[in-house]
Amino acid sequence: MPQVNEPLIVDVEASGFVGDSYPIEIGLALEGGSKFCTLITPAPDWTH
C-alpha cells in the first residue's frame, strides 16, 4: 500500500448548517501540492 502523507487541509462541505444536514463533499490538500476532492452520494434518508 502506498504511504499517504497527513493532509495539510481537510475541507468538509455540508448540505446546510442545521442538525439534519449531512456531508456532501470532502477535499484534502497534501504537502507538495497534491489535492483530492470527492462528492458524497446522499443516503436515501438524507432529505435536507
- Per-residue pLDDT reduced to its tens digit, 2-32: 666 677 889 999 888 888 888 899 999 888 8
Q: How far is CA 27 from CA 1, 2, 22, in A?
A: 21, 19, 15
All 3 cell numbers of residue 43? 443516503
- Could you tell me which residue, 38 or 4, shows the higher pLDDT? 38
**Which sequence spans correspond to the domains of the chain?**
7-39
What contacts 38, CB < 8 A, 6 or more positions away?
A: 25, 26, 27
Check residue 37 and give its pLDDT: 93
All 3 cell numbers of residue 6? 497527513
Please check the confidence at residue 48 and state whether its pLDDT lies above 80. Answer: no
Check residue 4 and give its pLDDT: 63
